[in-house]
Chain A
Amino acid sequence: MTSATLHSDATRQQAEAWRRQTSLRRFYTALGVGLLLVAMFATMWFADEANAGHFFDRLPHILDFLSWLVPKDWNDVWRALFDIASPNDKGTQEFNFPLGRVYVWGGFYIPEYFELMLTTVNVALVSTFIGFVFAVPFSFIAARNLTPSPILRLVVKRFMELLRAFPEIVIAGLFAAIVSIGPVAAIIAIGLHSIGALGKLFYEINENIDMRPEEGLRAVGANWFERVRFADLPQVLPNFMSYTLLRIEINVRISTIMGAVGGGGIGEELKLAISRGFGAKTLALVLLLFTTIFLVDQFSAWLRRKLVGEQAFLMSA
């Protein structure tokens, strides 16, 4: 047997093995995609069946439904936004713009929708603050490399998991019965959720720190608080702030939804306007909400870039 045939044998075997491997992999990929497609169509059918209106019945009427959104007078959008009386006002709720003015000083007022938007943003900010304040100490206890006690670590970790998974709407409903329905119940609900969500991200950052400063401090006899304060905190604070800013973005969205189920703020008004088909009010509200969320996102992204540089973050809740 010559070396040439040996060589070609080996090549053929290699090629054969390669073909087997790729065909197997292709089969698995096709199987996976096929299963996913089956699941997709099955769930589509299920969602359509369970819905009050069906997709193909409603599809031709999509544009009819959008027709209420086009106001007869486009100026009504601005009037609705700034609470200016409309000449179209016939005494119905659709055009009663000046009614909700919040007077601050003499004739100076904050338009109703701006006040509501402010409430929503404030709910998000205060609840993020609550989340941050509790998540920071929890994260030091829950980090494997910093924890003062493994049992405490497990307890804190489970507690944060529970807070994260617990449906906010239930906490909001529970506290609505205790502190009355409104923004305070929403703050408590979103705040508790934020503790869990931020705490998890924070302790994962803590587990990835450089431990040398910590060892240095341990060598000179620093206690736990001093080690955390002077070795860990300076390393993680920029990342903490960055995740907190991301959390603010998410919380603004959640607090809008909370508003729609009774948590105060702009959500409730939006829900009313859309369900009753008030075109001008809906457009004004969507415009305001869209602009606010866009500005919050851009501001937070800018600040995050300043804090941690060009680093990609997942938008995970």
Chain B
Amino acid sequence: MPAMTADQVKAIEDRHPQIFQRPAYKRFWPLLMIAGTVLYLAYALWFFSLPQVLRESHWERLPLFLSQWISYDLQPEFRLDQPEITPKYPRFSALGENPNPDWVIKNPDGTFTVQIDGNAKSVTFDKTVATIKANGVTVPISLTSGKPVVNGPVPDWVTVHDDEIVARMGFVGEVRVTVDRVKVRKRFLGWANFVFDTRSPFFGKSAGEVISLIVSGPDLQPGTSNLALAADNIWNNAQWQHGDVWTKLLQTIVMAFLGTLLGGIVAFPLAFFAARNITPSGLLSQVLKRFFDFMRSVDMLIWALFFTRAFGPGPLAGSAAIFFTEIGTLGKTYSEALENIDDKPREGVLSTGANGILVQRYGVLPEVVPVFISQTLYQWESNTRGATIIGAVGAGGIGLKLWEAMRTNSNWANVFYMVLLTLLVVFIFDNISNFLRRRLSRTLHDYNRLQAEQG
């Protein structure tokens, strides 16, 4: 095929001036928008002093925190300045009152061995010398000269400080050696004591033992059945607080449900008076519409803070906050749906001499109810998500608990537990809402099909 000649190109250009000769502002506005965005981003960079924030941030904490979501550590400490070396565990350690883990070994010659990852990563020590093994290298540390000294070459995973030697072994843990103590941090994958905490009589028993105790064992606590005791121990697990977490989660669900439902109930009649085509008075319609705008624009946060002050912290305040915001949101969407209806059924009912309420009931309602329900379900879904965050300002629910667990920066496993539960709840409610909306759209669809068949 021969290439087009300049004349042919010109002819095409002349035939379609609206494409090839657009006015300058139309040709340049995308460029202008991009330039504006870039300028704004430069301003934002300065406004949030982003370079400085990023320079001072601690990205090395991210993998550490994330690993803490799904793991826990044990930190035995061995004092070397006591007459006899004995392991000490911090209070509330995951091992309970009498820890005697099999990875802390007292050797026949009086030395201790702590296996951090089998024998490949371990530390063996007495009062004079500590030997750290990891990555196929053995590092002897002499402790007799007033400060710890590495004998021989120092590998790069060992850091020598003035009075302390730190050996980092990656995810599995680390060893810190000074002249008077050896401190080990050993990390385990999983959640410690998720079912029974260390105070429970069931603690440390295998699943089979627990089941046989529940089924046929002697009462561990006189007067209570083992089943009740086990349930009570799980519900009141001090470390994971299952009972509290689940109650708070239920509060979040209740807040979203109650707030959306009450909002819908109040917005429903108001929407009829606000819809331009149905309202008995134009002034009333305007007033109601501004009222809806007001309820929406006074943010959910403001309502939450006010109601928290009025009713005290808890789900009542959260429900009330969602309720007030929803009056505005649902009122607006309902009245917009009403304004978009087909007027013919209404005129038909009106022509039979029906009174006002009957006209709405038979001429308007059948058309809008599926739309109303579908929009209410949407809001319910989004409020189930929003209720979490509202909770953090004191309006009840899981939000505050999440926020408090995060503030200490040490409870990430609990945070992850609550996140998983929240995700589960959001997932379930999304699916319920989707299912109901699909059913609804099917009735809508059937209704339309029947209408079409009957002509």
> If A122-B48, A270-B301, A293-B299 touch, does A43 touch B254 (CB 8 Å cutoff)?
yes
Q: In the complex where A167-B389, A178-B57, A290-B298 touch, is A39 in contact with B257 (Cβ < 8 A)?
A: yes
Report if B415 contacts A (CB, 8 A).
yes
Contact A50 B251 (CB under 8 A): yes
Main secondary structure of the interface of A (DSSP, over half): helix
B309 close to A (CB within 8 Å): yes
Residue A308 interfacial (CB < 8 Å): no
Contact between chains at A55 and B316 (CB < 8 Å): yes
- Determine whether B138 belongs to the interface, using a CB cutoff of 8 Å to chain A: no
Answer whether residue B122 sits at the interface, using C-beta atoms and an 8 A cutoff.
Answer: no
* Alpha-carbon gap, A177 to B390, bound state (A): 21
Contacts of A48 in B (CB 8 A): 316
Residues in B with CB closer than 8 Å to A254 are 389
Of B77-85, B172-180, B399-407, B445-453, the one with at least 4 CB within 8 A of chain A: B399-407
Asked if B266 CB lies within 8 Å of chain A CBs, one says no
Which of A165, A260, A274, A317 is B427 in contact with, Cβ under 8 Å? A165
Contact flags B238-251 to A (C-beta < 8 A → 1, else 0): 00000000010011
Chain B 315-359 residues near chain A, CB threshold 8 A: 315-319, 329, 332-333, 336-337, 340
Which residue among A254, A257, A271, A312 has the maximum number of chain B CB atoms within 10 Å of its CB? A257
> Which residues of chain B have C-beta atoms less than 8 A from A62's C-beta?
310
What mask results when residues 303 to 317 of chain A are scored 1 for a CB within 8 Å of chain B, else 0?
000000000101111
Neighbouring B residues of A258 by C-beta, 8 Å: 389
Place the interface of chain A in its size category. Answer: 35 or more
Known: A122-B47, A169-B402, A173-B407. A51 touches B312 (CB 8 A): yes
Which residue from chain B places its CB closest to the CB of A118 in the assembled complex?
A: B47
B415 touches A316 (CB 8 A): no
Interface size on B, residues (CB 8 A): 79
B301 near A169: Cβ-Cβ < 8 Å: no
CA distance A248 to B138 in the complex (A): 59
A174–B411 Cα gap in the complex (Å)?
11
Q: Please, which residues of chain B bring their CB within 8 A of the CB of A208?
A: none
- CB nearest neighbor in A for B424: A165
Nearest B residue to A295 by beta-carbon distance?
Answer: B297
> A184 with B382: in contact, given A52-B312, A256-B301 (CB under 8 Å)?
no
Complex Cα spacing A256 to B299, Å:
8
Contact A52:B313 (CB < 8 A) given known A290-B297, A294-B293: yes
Within 8 Å by CB of A46, from B56, B310, B315, B336, lies: B315
Judging by beta carbons under 8 Å apart, are A58 and B312 in contact? Answer: yes
B284-321, CB < 8 A from A: 293-294, 296-302, 305-306, 309-319
Identify which of residues 406-445 in chain B touch chain A, using a CB-to-CB cut-off of 8 Å: 406-407, 409, 415, 419, 422-423, 426-427, 430
In the bound complex, how far is the Cα of B423 from the Cα of A169, in angstroms? 13
Q: Is the CB of B315 within 8 A of A257?
A: no
Give A166 to B378 CA distance when docked, in angstroms.
Answer: 18
Contacts of B407 in A (CB 8 A): 173
A151 interfacial by beta-carbon distance below 8 Å = no
Is B368 part of the binding interface, using a Cβ–Cβ cutoff of 8 Å? Answer: no
B305 and A316 form a contact (CB under 8 A) = no
Taken residue by residue from 17 to 55, chain A's Cβ proximity to chain B (1 for < 8 Å, 0 otherwise) reads as 000000000000000000010011001101110111111
B96 contacts partner chain A, Cβ-Cβ < 8 Å: no
Contact with B along A280-297 (1 / 0, CB 8 A): 000000100110011001
- B50, CB-defined interface residue at 8 Å: yes
Contact between B305 and A274, CB atoms less than 8 A apart: yes
B381 at the interface (CB under 8 A from A): yes
Chain B residue at smallest Cβ distance from A317: B382
Instruction: Decide: A174 near B406, CB < 8 A? Known: A40-B261, A293-B299, A316-B378.
Output: yes
Nearest 4 A/B pairs, CB to CB: A52-B312, A51-B314, A53-B312, A173-B406
* 5 examples of A-B residue contacts, CB within 8 angstroms: A51-B396, A52-B314, A126-B41, A183-B48, A316-B381
A contact residues vs B (CB 8 Å cutoff): 36, 39-40, 43-44, 46-48, 50-55, 58, 61-62, 65, 118-119, 122, 125-126, 129, 162, 165-170, 173-174, 176-180, 182-184, 187, 253-254, 256-258, 260-261, 267, 270-271, 274-275, 277, 286, 289-290, 293-294, 297, 312, 314-317
Chain B residues close to A by CB (< 8 Å): 37, 40-41, 44, 47-48, 50, 53-54, 56-59, 61-62, 65, 247, 250-251, 254-255, 257-258, 261-262, 293-294, 296-302, 305-306, 309-319, 329, 332-333, 336-337, 340, 375, 378-379, 381-382, 385-386, 388-390, 392-393, 396, 399, 402-403, 406-407, 409, 415, 419, 422-423, 426-427, 430
